[in-house]
Structure 1
Amino acid sequence: MQVTLLGTGDTTGTPTVGCDCDTCESAREPSDELRERLRQQGATITPSGGVERTRFSVHVHNERTDESLLIDFSPDFRHQFLREDVPLPDAAVVTHIHFDHLDGLGNCYRLLDEIEVFAADETDPATGESVADTVASDYDYLDGVAVEPQTPLEPFETCGFEGTLVPVVHPPLLCYGLTVEDLETGAKLAVTGDTCYAIPEVTRRQLAGADLLLAEALVPADLCEYHPLGGDHHDSDGVPRTFGTKHMTREGALELADELDAEQTRLVHAAHFYSAEEAFETALAVDGEQYHLP
């Protein structure tokens, strides 16, 4: 199982358009020392010498079957696939309907003759339809897209993998994490999806013990003081593990990772609000990283 992190950023990405903060400037023009460390970390260096966190997406290739599964359709789909030169997907999973995880599906037009798109069948009280319903209705003009509604916590098979959508907490919409397991080797990828720290126990059990965990970590905990709702799910030292109500802090993501006992953890969905000194610390993933799960 070859995992490529196509997009590791939040809804605006890093660098953010029109932003000249120190973090975005560091992404555009990293120091030679930082550039070399990120290169060794597996980051893709842009032609201009910078690094990126584009909108979230993960490519999972099955070397045995030569099939590829895409997790979420980033609006940066075209750029990501050209930049990383990975195979186009045979199937995909959509975790929720926020634009930074779904709007890239339109790229399938005139590009893919057919693709299976797996999404939850659970009706969302906020929208009156499931994620699968929304994908089907919003992209009904794409003849090659076959939406496959899936019941959360019930495994499904695609690309030689077993996938399982798991409920997480990302108000006001229903949202899901995902596990992907190789049916032959047992290699396991776990993705928290966009979520606060208060993940249900049944989901924690499913996510546990992965070879690679991708945990969302929008901002460091100290930035909760700037959120209108502050932070939530504080630890014993009073550190908030949730930013506002719907995203994990870095501290929350790291604590969850410790609990889930993954072989390796990468923090994703990071915003440009990290300070320049923290934004590219080792735990935080950048676009282009690749992992081979045995």
Structure 2
Amino acid sequence: MSIASDIQGSLVLLGTGTSVGVPCIGCDCAVCTGGHPRNQRTRSSAILGLPQGNLLIDTPPDLRMQLLREKIPLVHAVLYTHEHADHLHGLDDVRLFPFMLGHPIPIYASEIVENRIRKVFDYAFDKRDPTHAGAVPSMQLRRVDDQPLEILGSVLTPIPLIHGPYCNVYGYRIGNVAYCTDTNRIEPSSMELLEGLDVLVLDALRTTKHATHFSVGEALDVIERLAPKKAYLTHLSHELDYMTFHRELPEHVALAYDGLRIPLT
């Protein structure tokens, strides 16, 4: 029997890849075919080990294998950054947890994310005779806005982020650690919420400019302005080879990788 992993007091990066993951299907580049463990990037998500349980941030399509890989047997609540498929479409994988908890699993989401959940996973909310084969996720939806959240014995601060012209995202700060994925612009009011960090996890898709994600250079500019003690770049594409690219980064900045554990401070 596998031993459950104790993640209390940590932020664990379950996935650090872009929306198609790395390796990319059909790609024969050196990163996709090289097999280096830190170039194996599942879709982006994270989990917080809080005083009263494990808080999952996003439910990507790779969620089941992420939790098995990190030996995490139970999720007590879920918190969403935004509604895109690579962050949402693994939601059905949480349906075992309500049986273990003895109650519906709390799902913290903005109004836009909640509406997408109700549309994509409509079978979970159908009060008529069920037509869906098997169990369905039992959820209790709770609203996220710009106000601080008290979840599982900790307070999290939502950080409004801009993810291209058509999508708003929430990053989250807990203590002096912040997780900010999927963004290409951070407004001054949100930058203020990110001051004084020990650790910043920040979106950096590739070296060249992108319409909805920070490039590495843009992310480094933000990091220089905020001056966290340590920063990790996440939501990485196959253009960024861990073994070569990390040598080009400033000493206090590193490429994130699946399974990275960051102490909460």
Shorter-chain TM-score bucket reads 0.7 to 0.9
Residues 195-222 of structure 1, C-alpha deviations (whole Å, 9 max, x = no match): 11x31111111122222211000001xx
User: Which segments of 5 or more consecutive residues in structure 1 lack a partner in the other structure?
Assistant: 31-44, 122-129, 182-186, 224-242
Q: 2:5 is matched with which residue?
A: none
**279 and 136 in structure 1: CA distance in 2 versus 1, 3 angstrom threshold:** farther
**156 and 246 in structure 1: CA distance in 2 versus 1, 3 angstrom threshold:** same
Query: What's the offset of the Cα at 1:188?
Result: 2.8
> Does structure 1 retain, via aligned residues, the 8 Å contact 2:13–2:260?
yes
SS of alignment partner, residue 218 of structure 2: helix
> Does structure 2 retain, via aligned residues, the 8 Å contact 1:179–1:190?
yes
Residues 128-176 of structure 1, C-alpha deviations (whole Å, 9 max, x = no match): xx2222223322414511111122x211110112123222111343222
State the one-letter code of the partner of 1:255: D
Query: What's the offset of the Cα at 1:177?
Result: 2.9
SS of alignment partner, residue 157 of structure 1: strand
Query: What's the offset of the Cα at 1:194?
Result: 0.6
Q: 1:75 is matched with which residue?
A: 61
Query: What's the offset of the Cα at 1:191?
Result: 1.8
Identity over aligned pairs, percent:
31
Distance 2:120 2:198 in 1: 35
TM-score under structure 1 length normalisation: 0.74
Q: How many equivalent pairs are there?
A: 236
Q: 1:138 is matched with which residue?
A: 120
State the one-letter code of the partner of 2:259: G
Q: 1:288 is matched with which residue?
A: 259
Distance 1:103 1:57 in 2: 12
Q: 1:268 is matched with which residue?
A: 234
**55 and 279 in structure 1: CA distance in 2 versus 1, 3 angstrom threshold:** farther
1:2 to 5, 10, 15: 10
Query: What's the offset of the Cα at 1:93?
Result: 1.2
1:247 to 203, 209, 213: 213
SS of alignment partner, residue 190 of structure 2: helix
2:170 to 177, 183, 201: 177
2:194 to 207, 216, 220: 207
> Does structure 1 retain, via aligned residues, the 8 Å contact 2:97–2:105?
no
TM-score under structure 2 length normalisation: 0.81
Distance 1:84 1:246 in 2: 30
Distance 1:144 1:188 in 2: 33
State the one-letter code of the partner of 1:86: I
Distance 2:243 2:154 in 1: 39
Query: What's the offset of the Cα at 1:250?
Result: 0.6
Distance 2:242 2:197 in 1: 30
State the one-letter code of the partner of 1:204: M
User: Which segments of 5 or more consecutive residues in structure 2 lack a partner in the other structure?
Assistant: 1-8, 125-135
Query: What's the offset of the Cα at 1:267?
Result: 0.3
Alignment of 1:4-83 (within 5 A): 4-26=12-34, 28=35, 30=36, 45=37, 51-62=39-50, 64-65=51-52, 67-83=53-69
Residues 47-106 of structure 1, C-alpha deviations (whole Å, 9 max, x = no match): xxx7521100001102x33x0111111110011011111242211111111111111111
2:142 to 140, 144, 148: 148
> Does structure 2 retain, via aligned residues, the 8 Å contact 1:217–1:248?
yes
Query: What's the offset of the Cα at 1:290?
Result: 0.7
Query: What's the offset of the Cα at 1:259?
Result: 1.4
Distance 2:11 2:73 in 1: 12
Q: 1:124 is matched with which residue?
A: none
Distance 1:86 1:134 in 2: 27
Alignment of 1:83-232 (within 5 A): 83-113=69-99, 114-121=104-111, 130-140=112-122, 141=124, 142-151=136-145, 153-181=146-174, 187-196=175-184, 198-220=185-207, 223=208
Query: What's the offset of the Cα at 1:276?
Result: 7.2
